[in-house]
Chain A
Amino acid sequence: MADITITGVSKKFGDIVALNDLNLHVDDGEFFVILGHPGAGKTTTLRTIVGLEQPDAGVIQIGGQDMSGVMPGERNVGIVFQNLALYPDKTVYDNLAFPLRQKGREVSKQEIDQRVRGAAETLRISALLDRKPGKLSGGERQRVAIGRVMTRAPEVYLLDEPLSALDALLRMEMRSELKRLQHELKRTLIYVTHDQVEAMSMADRICVLVQGAVEQVGTPSEIYDQPRTIDVARAVGSPPMNLLPLTVDRSQGLCLRSTTVLFNGSADQNLSAITDGDLVHLGVRPEDVVIGGDAASCPFTARVMAVEPLGSETIIDLDVQGVIIKGSVLPTAQFAPDESVRWGVRTDRIHLFGADGVSLYTAAGQAHMTAAAP
């Protein structure tokens, strides 16, 4: 069993708090992605799991066993560093064979050869075995780094932003390859990245890490559709979720208003936590912003600030009282900068966050609010 449990782990580097009471559980055989901004503590988390860093507090368990005091080489964990760290003076073959040649591992020469060639074939680098890393392309080096972990066949694979240095096209290919590979190997894989597309497309579950602590863990759709805080909501989705600050007005039922937009809550709504004058944030993703429709679906007006054609969609930036709201429209729609347009939101897909950033309400397919011009 190679499940991983992290309990109450904290780690400081001098004055900087890298990990803050981290609690995490990764299931056996899962493709688990840790998503976060640079500096959130993702790499530190990986290094603590593999044993290159010791936590100041807390326990790391792999397969149910406490790993305190266990050397990295003994933990049955393999890691691919962000900068790969291939042995530049050794051939690809020797790079792959290196872990098997260490003392304490009685592996015969034939078996080493077998495992190295097996891994090379799976990763399609068999033709490169005699080359040195300096003569390989970025994608090839990436595969060798993965191969070096594969030959050891550990129970857990850790990958630290492995695709960040590859160009866009290669990244796309490697994404599906990695996912397929993990399916084949059936091993627990913890993948660290700041790229939300990678996280969304590959993960069985995503863990959003903010400032060294877990903000939320869930499947990609859970994270995307039911974010518990603003940080999680903006961590996935590109362009990120729009946030509109609104004031609560309970004088006539439940209203959320600003000078340009107004939302009325229906009687089914029960947001007792907020009162008159409170500040809330309305969260709506660009694909749920409607632009240029009829008066019913688009009760508000705004000025177009920018138009970004991306091919499969076009992003329109709207100026809503100084806040930029991004909406995604079909590429056929024609809007020009400085144009005044009608816009609205899909009220069955909105989110409401309190001033503290915690989610108060998620529409989740039910329209409990109606939008109206103020």
Chain B
Amino acid sequence: MTAKKKARIAMIARFLIAIAVLVVMLFPVYWMVTMAFKPNVEWTPTTGETFWIPQDWTTANFTRLFGIQEDGAASFLVSTPIDAMPSIWHSLIASIGGTLLALLAGVSTAYGISRFKAGGGALPFQILQLRMFPPIAVIIPILFLWTYLQLFDTLIGLILIYGAVTFPFVVWLMRSFFDEIPREIAEAAIVDGCTPFGAFRRAVLPLVRGGLATTALFVFILNWSDFLIALVLTDANTQTAPVFLSQLRTAGGQEFGAQAALAVILVSLPVLISIVIQKHLVRGLTFGAVKR
């Protein structure tokens, strides 16, 4: 067998393996999306056949989320109306708020560490240590603390905890983006007359736009998908969407269809955001600034 033929077979094999892996990974997503559009009949088919593709597409599951009752929504017995809107709202506010808080604190910390070696060698590691505690290990003490501070079941409380928990990620990610910017760019701006903060804002920050967008998106996803913290630290007043989803059962039983539909909605938001900010996720902004 010639080297060329061997190479071709290897390439095809690699391709097939990649396809197999892709199928395995994407199947749950596929299933979830199709489930959201299936009517009750196809959820619990009496004939025992599996509906790989919904035959009777319906949006009843989605409308059910917002209080509208229709035939065909997938649950054992359609009974009391449910409203997912408040929980989605809470999720949005808490996630966005937490992300902004983490960014505000984290970006300036990261710049301080990168440019001025703030905190000596120890600070970056100490910040990272914060995140080494899995939240589940400290969530009970935090519950006590939050209750004491009267932050339990408040949006402010959620925003604060989300910000704190994702702050180390922001520092960690942004620090490496700042490290790539040569210090002379900020210095050139200073020599041109900027204050150190002005130099940061006008000369350096525009260069890490891509990194900032990536970090913001990453942190937002972390907050948006959080289940544990919200479960413990909220109650009826500020319930977030993931918690709402997990508790979606009425007298009629577990609302599979509504759950699938809500899941689809929740997953699609980060995807949409990524598409919108796509061009900011492009690297290569610093090319040409310095000699290599």
Contact = CB atoms under 8 A, between A and B. Distances in A.
Q: Do A and B bind? A: yes
Which of A82, A102, A104 is packed against the most chain B CB atoms within 10 Å?
A102
Nearest to B209: A89
Contacts of B198: 102-103
Nearest to B289: A88
23 contacts: A51-B191, A72-B187, A73-B193, A77-B191, A79-B188, A84-B289, A84-B290, A84-B291, A85-B184, A85-B188, A85-B290, A86-B288, A87-B188, A87-B206, A88-B287, A89-B209, A102-B192, A104-B193, A132-B288, A134-B287, A136-B288, A141-B288, A165-B291
Interface residues of A, number: 34
Contact of B190 (A73, A135, A152): A73
A43 to B, nearest CB: 11
| A contacts with B: majority SS | loop
Nearest to A87: B203
Contacts of B194: 73, 102
Which of A51, A84, A103, A135 is packed against the most chain B CB atoms within 10 Å?
A84
A51 B191 CA distance: 8
B288 A81 contact: no
Given A52-B187, A82-B291, A83-B291, 7 more contacts: A73-B194, A84-B290, A85-B290, A86-B289, A86-B290, A89-B206, A138-B291
B287 A148 contact: no
A195 to B, nearest CB: 15
| Number of chain B interface residues as a range | 20 to 34
Interface in A74-121: 77-79, 81-89, 98-99, 102-105
A50 B185 CA distance: 15
Contacts, number: 84
B93 interface: no
A265 to B, nearest CB: 51
B85 interface: no
Contact of A87 (B185, B209, B284, B287): B185
A309 B47 CA distance: 93
B187 A81 contact: yes
A152 B284 CA distance: 29
A140 to B, nearest CB: 10
